[in-house]
Amino acid sequence: MRVLIVDDDPTIRMTLEGVLKKHDCEIYEADSGFKALEVIQSDHPPELIFMDWNMPGLSGVEVTTLVRETVAENQPYVIIISSNSDDEDVIKALSYGADDYIVKPIDGRFLNAKFAVAQRILGIQEKLRQTNLVLEKLAYYDELTGVLNRRAGNASFQVEMDRAIRKEQNVSIAMVDIDHFKKINDAFGHQTGDEVLRVFSRVLRQTMRPYDIVCRYGGEEFMLIAEINNKDEASDLFERVRETVSTTQIRHANQTINITASFGVHVVIPRTDMILKSLVQKADEALYEAKSAGRNKVII
């Protein structure tokens, strides 16, 4: 844990350091409120701060208020240290954003006990952050293939449209569906089918550009959104993807499998009032045509 000790009095800083040294932490020091802010805004911000209240310049409580108002995430745990021992002072410090309060002269037993509380609270905070990361991943990405799920694809659509409008680019929406995928499941089993979906997703991701949207729309159907200059460019792009899919050999459980996919593409000049659903419907109609025309085709 990174701990910052802030006090204009070097002997107090030494006392604090003496006690905290026994714990497993990385100690930083600051002799003023301004120096404290510098450390807090650095690349290695402290997780826990012992902050003197009365200092020339910015006071500890003022620094705390600033931190509470400006630090976006990973707020530090702040313990105010002061010789003001009135209830009113303690209440004031806590109401301005401090998490705890220690009265001078510093009693090492208090310091240790309060350090332990800080550690516990920061531990809970960190666990919550990790859980949120996992939940975010589950919320946006398809578990099987790792590409965006349908919800995230829909959300990215609006962002993509806005960017395309700014750059005066057209946008292509492609619906892609693996041909006769049911037969692959039937012939090789569901596990191999899953592996085919993973490889297929990887091929899509690798043949599209990094900022294009690749999303699993459902089952073996994917949606691709890309900025494009015109229909010819869209045709070239998706022909290349189609070709790469059809020449990729998928090996799984001693089997080598080849697949093809059909592409239905709709190219639009983006407007802010466009609704994804109606664009997908157009792309779907083209996909249906591609299937009817014998599959392994791009229809625009």
Residue nearer to Mg ion on the CB measure, 164 or 299:
299
Q: How many Cα atoms within 13 Å fall on the side-chain side of residue 80? A: 27
Residue nearer to ligand GH3 on the CB measure, 163 or 291:
291
- Tell which positions 202-221 bind Mg ion, by CB under 5 A: 221
Taking CB under 6 A as the rule, does residue 177 contact ligand GH3? Answer: yes
Task: Please confirm, yes or no, whether 289 is among the known catalytic residues.
Answer: no
Task: Give the residue ranges of DSSP H helices in the chain.
Answer: 10-20, 33-40, 60-70, 87-95, 108-140, 150-167, 181-188, 190-207, 231-247, 276-292
Catalytically annotated residue among 160, 220, 227, 289: 220
Question: What residue is closest to ligand GH3 based on CB?
Answer: 193
Residue nearer to Mg ion on the CB measure, 1 or 35:
35
- Tell which positions 214-243 bind ligand GH3, by CB under 6 A: 219-220
Closest approach of Mg ion to the CB of residue 219, in Å: 5
For residue 91, what are the CA distances in angstroms to 56, 96, 99, 100?
Answer: 22, 9, 11, 10
- Tell which positions 65-84 bind ligand GH3, by CB under 6 A: none
The structure tokens listed for 226 are: 């890309």
Q: Which does 98 bind (CB under 5 to 8 A by kind): ligand GH3, Mg ion, none?
A: none
- Closest CA relative to residue 234, chosen from 164, 179, 185: 164
Residue nearer to ligand GH3 on the CB measure, 21 or 182:
182
Mask of contacts with ligand GH3, 127-156, x by CB under 6 A? Answer: -----------------x------------
The structure tokens listed for 155 are: 């959300």
- Closest CA relative to residue 145, chosen from 96, 188, 123, 178: 178
d(CA 61, CA 33) in angstroms, rounded, equals 9
Residue with tokens 């990094």: 210
Q: Which does 54 bind (CB under 5 to 8 A by kind): Mg ion, ligand GH3, none?
A: Mg ion
How many residues touch ligand GH3 (CB under 6 A)? 16
For Mg ion, which residue of 101, 157, 181, 217 counts as binding (CB under 5 A)? 181
The answer to whether 209 and 226 are in contact (CB under 8 A) is: yes
The answer to whether 12 and 81 are in contact (CB under 8 A) is: yes
Active site residues: 220
Query: Could you list the residues that contact Mg ion (CB under 5 A)?
Result: 8, 52, 54-55, 177-178, 181, 221
